[in-house]
A and B are shown apart, each in its own frame.
Chain A
């Protein structure tokens, strides 16, 4: 399926490359203007990765070790959609996150919070024919970083998605409703104001499982729409 990828959608939603408040952007953004790239088949196509790359327990981060991880068990689910609201089926979703104490297993994370021997924090899901994904995890903790004095990241889960083409590629972060750290986080606040809420998952009682886990819903909209408007 060949879609079109209006540039307005990109500018309306994505943070700028240079952020005055997120210090690490200072030496990591281009100073020359970007050149508008006509979309050729190279951009309009994308890689195909499906269910064959998924292993058992990739969609359950609480069952990847001998024991259960510490923390609040959660279920995260939602739909991956295109800009017309149509499901994006059979597309790979990669997720990673800190543990309940706010510590990543990554070797360079030196935050003095405990690692959890029963939690790695990495998962993969492929959306079903309706664009749905779902995984089980534990709620990640907030953690400090050195961007400014007393800087803390709101709790978040990282997402990486492919979608229909190289143009729909997206790496983002899912946040949790009501986090008191939102007003202080430059990474979140560099998103254009009208688009920030799109990264906040909603507590969902219908997804919550009795005696088991809280449920959160997070829908993702990737670039791409039909060249001709859908019939009513």
Chain B
């Protein structure tokens, strides 16, 4: 059997195809995962993506993937693909000139972990950019969740780096987390 197809960088010119907000192509993904009737607590998530010099990355693409507010993945490839008033669980953002990103979604519920115990609410995150030959995996957790203390994945991360995965609460149902690709306070990335 031949091996898997290698990754290559998304390059600097993806936006007109993958995040075409500013172009004529119709957009199929959004930074807003909520639609009419979606159940759960609506939240906004903001942050900036920084390079090793602390400069915001203007040509990054951030994708999030998550369970619905009840921790169900019925909307996914493991379920029927349809559930919860059209909730898709997937969002995609092109970073702004300062590296900024914003998502509107619902707070995910708890999904079972590899050890069979429920994980703390979290988002799966992938980062793509010019200068990244293979995309990076990380996660976003939420500061106001007591279950973070028992989360299997968070507990694999050295205690002094866990905060790089936990979004701060900055307002009512508003969270913020910067993603630092390299250097001081570097975000924890995973080999998935």
Report the minimal beta-carbon distance from B184 to chain A, rounded to whole angstroms. Answer: 10
Decide if A83 touches B18 in the complex (CB within 8 Å): no
Count residues on chain A whose CB falls below 8 Å from chain B CBs: 85
A122-B3 contact, Cβ under 8 Å, with A25-B132, A45-B73, A108-B12? no
A124–B16 CA distance with the chains assembled, in angstroms: 12
B98 contacts chain A at the CB level, 8 A cutoff: no
Report the minimal beta-carbon distance from B68 to chain A, rounded to whole angstroms. Answer: 12
Within 8 A of A (CB), among B7-23: 7-18, 20, 22-23
A170-B17 contact, Cβ under 8 Å, with A35-B157, A43-B124? no
Main secondary structure, interface of A, reads loop
Decide if B77 touches A165 in the complex (CB within 8 Å): yes
- Residues of chain A within 8 A (CB-CB) of B76 are 45-48
Decide if B7 touches A15 in the complex (CB within 8 Å): yes
Size category of the B interface is: 35 or more
A203 contacts chain B at the CB level, 8 A cutoff: no
Report the minimal beta-carbon distance from A11 to chain B, rounded to whole angstroms. Answer: 9
A165–B161 CA distance with the chains assembled, in angstroms: 27
B25, B111, B182: the one within 8 Å of A29 (CB): B182
A94–B29 CA distance with the chains assembled, in angstroms: 12
Q: Which of B17, B28, B119, B126 has the most CB of A within 10 A?
A: B17
A190 contacts chain B at the CB level, 8 A cutoff: yes
B105 contacts chain A at the CB level, 8 A cutoff: no
B75, B132, B192: the one within 8 Å of A17 (CB): B132
Main secondary structure, interface of B, reads loop
Report the minimal beta-carbon distance from A182 to chain B, rounded to whole angstroms. Answer: 13
A37–B138 CA distance with the chains assembled, in angstroms: 9
A41–B161 CA distance with the chains assembled, in angstroms: 24
B67 contacts chain A at the CB level, 8 A cutoff: yes
A44 nearest in chain B by CB position: B78
Decide if B15 touches A195 in the complex (CB within 8 Å): no
Decide if A121 touches B113 in the complex (CB within 8 Å): no
A134 contacts chain B at the CB level, 8 A cutoff: no
Decide if A36 touches B8 in the complex (CB within 8 Å): no
A22, A39, A47: the one within 8 Å of B192 (CB): A39
Report the minimal beta-carbon distance from A207 to chain B, rounded to whole angstroms. Answer: 19
A114 contacts chain B at the CB level, 8 A cutoff: no
Decide if B75 touches A48 in the complex (CB within 8 Å): yes
B residues whose Cβ falls under 8 Å from a Cβ of A: 1-18, 20, 22-26, 28, 51-53, 55, 57, 59, 63, 65-67, 73, 75-79, 81-82, 88-90, 111-115, 119, 122, 124, 126, 128-137, 152-153, 156-157, 161, 181-183, 186-192
Query: A15-B6, A123-B17 given. 14 additional CB < 8 A pairs?
Result: A26-B52, A29-B182, A32-B161, A39-B114, A40-B113, A41-B111, A41-B112, A48-B76, A53-B28, A83-B4, A106-B15, A158-B8, A172-B5, A221-B5
